[in-house]
Amino acid sequence: MAIKFITLLILVTSSFYASASLNEIKHRYNEEHQKILNEVEEEELDPEDYSLELKELYFQTYQTEANLFLKNDQFEQSTTQLQSILEAFEYKEDEVSKISEKIEAHQKELQQKKFQKNYSLEINYLSWQREIDIKSPTIKNKIIVTNQATCLGGGLHFSNAYYVYGVEGCLLTGTGDTKEKKSPPKYKESDIPLWGIKTSLNAGMIVSTAGAQLGVKLPLLYSIQNLKNPPDNTFKLKEDHKILFFPTLYTRLPLGTFFIQSEIGPFLDQSNTLYSIGAGFTF
């Protein structure tokens, strides 16, 4: 009979603590709770003044709120208050410390996963190549245009501790040189002015504790150049793809708010090559 009574008492007590909440503490021990808050704030609390039952109720409430936070990511400010009370009580210090460490680690993880928005201003040096058809009534060949340009612009980025996504754009101006891919005809021009725009979508990973990025860009590059036909009037240029679109790899190394970056194309053939190096700052 005594064993059944003890078992029932344990079950009732466990059920009571399992449903523990700060509202219940305020309801049942409102006067003591307000006194405890004042004594904790003034660092005058004497643990011997309060019952073990009340201390355990605070602990169970703290544990319940911590488990809810770890499960649902919803942090209650009262959790910090409960921790301060238990530390002042010096009650179950090892267990409170372990729970506190779990809470802090989870808060840090949530903060690292949170995406932040930032902007950038940057200047880049680009070099790229493209092919242009050159035809006569009987022959069709290609010429290679090698361009160099400066591109001034900026971007919008969303990043957390693991990933970064963004969109960038810049205005470019520069010059280009032409050379036949194979003869005939012999064709060469130098310092041909160009201007245009470059936009890109990017997705990358944070690969170091310093925030270095490695990822992929999808640039769209549109340029305008006034290319002339060969002087013999036999061959004529057919400029049919001023827009270039292909994936590139990029890296970015932050130096505080400043950064240096590079971009390199796939190098599948001479008509699809691009590399870039630049610098900028974020804000």
219 has which bridge partners? 200
User: What ranges do the domains of the chain cover?
Assistant: 2-113, 116-282
pLDDT, mean of residues 54-64: 94
The whole-chain average pLDDT of the chain stands at 87
Q: Which among 250, 254, 242, 253 has a CA at the least distance from the CA of 276?
A: 250
Is pLDDT larger for residue 115 or for residue 25?
Answer: 115
Among 68-77, 118-127, 131-140, 199-208, which is the least confidently predicted range? 131-140
pLDDT at 186 over 90: no
Structure tokens at 225: 């150049």
Give the rounded distance of the alpha carbon of 214 from its chain centre: 12
For residue 25, give every residue at least 6 positions away whose Cβ sits within 8 Å of its Cβ, in sequence order, or none: 33, 54, 57, 58, 61
pLDDT at 231 over 80: no
Using pLDDT thresholds of 50, 70 and 90, give the confidence band for residue 23. Answer: confident
Whether 123 and 280 have beta carbons less than 8 Å apart is answered as yes
Using pLDDT thresholds of 50, 70 and 90, give the confidence band for residue 243. Answer: confident
pLDDT, mean of residues 209-238: 86
pLDDT at 13 over 60: no
DSSP characters for 191-249? EEEEEEEEEEEEEEEE-STT--EEEEEEEEEEEEE-PPPPTTSS-EEE----EEE--EE
For residue 183, what pLDDT is reported? 65
Using pLDDT thresholds of 50, 70 and 90, give the confidence band for residue 11. Answer: very low
Question: What confidence tens digit (pLDDT) does each residue in 137-180 have?
Answer: 777 788 888 999 999 999 999 999 999 999 999 999 999 998 77
Using pLDDT thresholds of 50, 70 and 90, give the confidence band for residue 18. Answer: very low
Is pLDDT larger for residue 120 or for residue 132?
Answer: 120
For residue 10, what pLDDT is reported? 40
pLDDT at 264 over 60: yes
Question: What confidence tens digit (pLDDT) does each residue in 87-106 have?
Answer: 999 999 999 999 999 999 99
For residue 268, what pLDDT is reported? 66
Which of 2.40.160.20, 3.40.630.30, 3.40.50.2300, 2.30.40.10 is the CATH number of 116-282?
Answer: 2.40.160.20
pLDDT, mean of residues 15-26: 63
For residue 16, what pLDDT is reported? 42
For residue 189, what pLDDT is reported? 84
